[in-house]
Amino acid sequence: MGKGMVEVVNQQAIAKFNERTQGEQTDYKTLQAQHAEIIKKIDRLEERYIEEEIGSELYNKYRVRYKGGKEEIEKNLMKLSRQVSNLDGGVGFAMKLALELPLKWVSANYNTKKRIQFLLFPEGITYSKKTDECRTPRINSIFAYVAYFQQIEIKKEAYQNQDWILPLLQLW
């Protein structure tokens, strides 16, 4: 696959990732704002307690409430923080792996082949004895893009190597 095609696949993968995580990014920003707000409330509560505006009973009641809310928000922030800080680097690594996959498969041992298979087909592979066919419910989108663009490039090269086909293609 040429460098231009690799760049197209990289851009497409990044766009797809951003599209799929758009709602999560909005939720993450909302949670960050809530986290900042609850920290302000905790600070204000401590300040009022130190300045003896409120007693220890009221302080303890609200401290427990705010601390529980803060922990819940932080737990949700951790769940949503799986956004990749270096998305370009991650996609580049995945592309390199995808392009080298056939060589890695040939030299891999059984356990490595199982890991590669799960990477390609995250929901597994099923086999039907009745039809003697394998099925894959889903293919990892990075590898699907690579396969798609490699097919396009192979077809393009095949057509370019056959000069008599080019005039026919231009008619379409």
Q: Each residue of 26-62: pLDDT tens digit?
A: 778 888 899 999 999 999 999 999 988 999 899 999 9
The pLDDT of residue 90 is above 50: yes
Mean pLDDT of 65-80: 86
Q: Is the separation of the CB atoms in 141 and 119 below 8 Å?
A: no
The pLDDT of residue 171 is above 80: no
Choose among 73, 71, 87: nearest CA to 27: 73
Asked which of 5-14, 70-79, 104-113, 123-132 is least confident by mean pLDDT, the reply is 5-14
Instruction: Give the pLDDT confidence of 91-121 residue by residue, as tens digits.
Output: 777 777 777 888 888 898 999 989 888 888 8
Q: What pLDDT score does 172 carry?
A: 47
Q: How confident is the model at residue 85 (pLDDT cuts 50, 70, 90)?
A: low
Mean pLDDT of 140-165: 69
Q: Is the separation of the CB atoms in 38 and 66 below 8 Å?
A: yes
Q: How confident is the model at residue 65 (pLDDT cuts 50, 70, 90)?
A: very high
Beta bridge partner(s), residue 128? 133
Burial of residue 54, with CB atoms counted within 10 A of its CB: 0-12 exposed, 13-18 middle, 19 or more buried = middle
Choose among 49, 96, 41, 94: nearest CA to 65: 41
- 6 or 62, which is more confident: 62
- 163 or 127, which is more confident: 127
Q: What pLDDT score does 136 carry?
A: 86
Q: What pLDDT score does 170 carry?
A: 55
Q: Is the separation of the CB atoms in 80 and 23 below 8 Å?
A: no
Q: What pLDDT score does 158 carry?
A: 65
